[in-house]
Structure 1
């Protein structure tokens, strides 16, 4: 879809919701914790938000209907995909730029501090000839090239060592909640058929502070040969023969009132509750685990114009243990109202069950569904648990023509992790307060 069309369609629905609400840009921007000019750019189509969380909050403030929330997410996915392709193309450097020393590589090397140049083993730039007044620019360009080459070699070597040292993956804590990163290995072969065996992903990095983590027993995550990332861009999916991609957001919130996290830290060491878009970084910083329930948002999109049938989602349990004996922290501020409409394509699963399975929420349809590049689907999963600490992941079955396969959907190579919180010490963060207090002790005016 052309860039201007995707962005314009997305902005048009935003404007419609904003105008219908009767609220000004200033009022909405204040409630969304963003600048008025930024909100203007989103509604005018001049910019596409990199994260969907503020878009959903805007829609809810404007009293969007469930079907409008689904359509808004669909339009954002398309506009965001086009924006991503444009950004990737702009990052490429032409041969003329590379040869002339005037491209992005030159700017990066000029900005490098002297210490980096010395560590890369680059010779110092030669001064201009005192007698001839020769311009030292060619020498500087050669020096910059040597510096850049040395840094690149060192970075590649460090990257390989890091990848080998951390086979299970880890959270980078950048706060995007997995929205623009691969969410796990797609369990399909290059031909797009289901693999002969399905091994559960590793929980090696499920929680760095958990003494009961089964990481030592399970070993590194295994990726089938020829597989593609489940959240890979469309081009990667096509190269691997997989006609569908999946983007998982394991730290999405149905509403702040329903979201809680367990952490093995005292209240005095905990940061204040984040906004939804900062939840991933907050969880990573505290080694936290979803408490009581986990709300998962899956965006499924085809990689081309052909129709792909999503036949179903299966819940797989990778491990069950006694619930974590950690403190329970509520994300909602006391006295702040929480709202949330019923989503379409909503499913629930009890992880306490011996064989957990997804069931549609009342009024929702069940699988199968159809997707394509221009017609993505969004599924909302609520996984609840009270009696266990559960590692789990999903298998998405798809078919297209005479091809079929299974995608493993997880948290960047690790299982999702949700623990019961029954009887755990619970805390809340009062508005205007300076720390967490036992839940229920806050006096509301």
Structure 2
């Protein structure tokens, strides 16, 4: 699909929703906290938002129906994916205009061999890493560098630079392979890689084309602090889904041989009224509640944990034209503890109405259960579903808990032709974390107020 077609389809639905609402561009822009000209460009198809959050807020303001929300997200994913491919093509054009081949330009722009080896290692370790069926780690792919600048490099210097870079890449790959072997089970290493286990090795391909992971690893602990720790449950081998997010340029999701990508948004809100966070800080040290698009930054700044329930939005898309069947989603618990003894903060302002309804492709799970499992919300179909590059799916998952502080993640089972496999869905290498809030001090932030107050004490006009 061309960029113009994808952008035009996305903009057409935006305009339809806007026109049907009867609201002017000025009124909508004010409520969305953006400029009128920016909103007008989105609706004309001159630009595609980099983030989906303002698009969803616009659709809800315009009273979009559940099926329209799903279709709008599908069109945004396609428009955003085409835009990413256009950016990659533009980078190649710049290299050609500089008089070099695209591959050579990347090498010639690389740093000299004297550069620190640590600069090269992260590029070699990020993403899905293949292992053999026996579990032995294969060296990661060589790191790549940014596009070359538009200035020519003298031929002798170019040859010397290329030789030095190739030598540096070889050393980096060997060192990364050693680090990977140490981190694998039986390698005598531990999770002492300094990144909290965010990029763990996982197998991706076997001799028969089976895409299931063969390396065994447990999910890392959650980034937030907890009053006590417990041993994590042993988890099956898994392939990270986050190595190629939905909407990535062509071929990005096929580096590991997996024909489907998954993008998880753990900071989506079903509505502000339902969203709460536990924070280990007094009310006097807390910032006001954010809008949904600012939730991730707010959570990171406060070390917050989803309270009572977590609303997860998954975007699943094929990496090519072939159809991929999503056979199911399995909930895996990485650890359970007593619920956090922290303060409970509500994101809704008292007196503000909350919209929203049950989405299509909506599922619920109770993390208090001994064996948590997803169940479709009333009126929704259950798995399997089909996806492709041009027909993504969006799943909405509500995970509830009251008696525990739970680390958890999902496993997505897929099949395509004679291939099948499992992808791990988590929070960028860490498990999702949701804690019960029963009996915790609860706070709200009044409109026009200057701080948090105990919930229920705000007087409404």
Deviation string for 1:96-152 (max 9, x for gaps)?
A: 665xx9999999999999999x99999999999999999999999999999999999
Q: What SS is found at the alignment partner of 2:340?
A: coil
* Change in CA separation of 1:277 and 1:177 when aligned onto 2, cut-off 3 Å: farther
TM-score by length of 2: 0.75
* Change in CA separation of 1:197 and 1:373 when aligned onto 2, cut-off 3 Å: same
1:112 alignment partner in structure 2:
110
Say if 1:394 and 1:408, in contact at 8 Å, map to a contact too: yes
Tell me, in whole angstroms, the C-alpha distance in 1 between the residues paired with 2:68 and 2:321.
Answer: 24
Shift of 1:361: 0.5
Deviation string for 1:360-391 (max 9, x for gaps)?
A: 11110000001000000000000000011011
Moved more, 3-12 or 150-159: 150-159
| 1:150 partnered with 2:168 | yes
| Number of positions where the alignment pairs a residue of Structure 1 with one of Structure 2 | 439
Moved more, 234-243 or 383-392: 234-243
Shift of 1:61: 0.9
Tell me, in whole angstroms, the C-alpha distance in 2 between the residues paired with 1:344 and 1:131.
Answer: 47
Tell me, in whole angstroms, the C-alpha distance in 1 between the residues paired with 2:375 and 2:10.
Answer: 31
- Note the aligned Cα RMSD (angstroms): 8.4
* Change in CA separation of 1:347 and 1:104 when aligned onto 2, cut-off 3 Å: same
* Change in CA separation of 1:297 and 1:234 when aligned onto 2, cut-off 3 Å: farther
Say if 2:231 and 2:335, in contact at 8 Å, map to a contact too: no
Q: What SS is found at the alignment partner of 2:108?
A: helix
2:91 alignment partner in structure 1:
91
Shift of 1:214: 5.0
Deviation string for 1:267-320 (max 9, x for gaps)?
A: 111111011111011101111000000000000001111111111111111111
Listed as ranges, the gaps of 5+ residues in structure 1 are: none
Moved more, 193-202 or 367-376: 193-202
* Change in CA separation of 1:179 and 1:319 when aligned onto 2, cut-off 3 Å: closer
Say if 1:313 and 1:358, in contact at 8 Å, map to a contact too: yes
Shift of 1:218: 8.9
Tell me, in whole angstroms, the C-alpha distance in 2 between the residues paired with 1:53 and 1:174.
Answer: 34
Shift of 1:342: 1.9
Tell me, in whole angstroms, the C-alpha distance in 2 between the residues paired with 1:323 and 1:125.
Answer: 42
1:199 alignment partner in structure 2:
218
Tell me, in whole angstroms, the C-alpha distance in 1 between the residues paired with 2:456 and 2:80.
Answer: 41
Shift of 1:85: 1.7
Shift of 1:227: 8.1
Tell me, in whole angstroms, the C-alpha distance in 1 between the residues paired with 2:139 and 2:328.
Answer: 60
Say if 1:292 and 1:418, in contact at 8 Å, map to a contact too: yes
* Change in CA separation of 1:60 and 1:277 when aligned onto 2, cut-off 3 Å: same
* Change in CA separation of 1:145 and 1:102 when aligned onto 2, cut-off 3 Å: farther
* Change in CA separation of 1:182 and 1:228 when aligned onto 2, cut-off 3 Å: farther
* Change in CA separation of 1:170 and 1:12 when aligned onto 2, cut-off 3 Å: farther
Shift of 1:339: 0.4
Match of 1:423 among 429, 436, 439: 439
